[in-house]
Amino acid sequence: MTLFDIISLVVGVLLLVIAFLAINAKKLINSVLFLSALSMLAVVSFVLLKAPDVAITEAVIGSGLVTALFIFTLLSVRKEETK
């Protein structure tokens, strides 16, 4: 079991666990945070699979902007409830 196999096994299992948690999370905020953790793991697996271009793009877009958009939607909704 080379080092690469061990790391890819850990990343693979983590991917599945976090995806399951993201789908069945009770609160929306938890589900969004799990999604952002999932896209960070995707960046790790892209680096493992020797795809640097895609890793940079996924890092900036996936965990950066997509999570931000999700959180802005949830914040604007919570503001309406408190009004």
Residues that bind another protein (CB under 8 A): 4-5, 8-9, 11-13, 15-16, 19-20, 22-24, 28, 31-32, 35, 38-39, 42, 45-46, 48-62, 64-66, 68-70, 72-77, 79-80
Copy the structure tokens of residue 9.
Answer: 């096994």
The CB-of-15 to another protein minimum distance in angstroms stands at 5
The CB-of-43 to another protein minimum distance in angstroms stands at 10
Distance CA 25, CA 12 (A): 20
Distance CA 61, CA 38 (A): 13
Residue 42, C-beta contacts closer than 8 angstroms, at least 6 positions apart:
15, 58, 62
The CB-of-75 to another protein minimum distance in angstroms stands at 6
Residue 73: strand, helix, or coil: helix
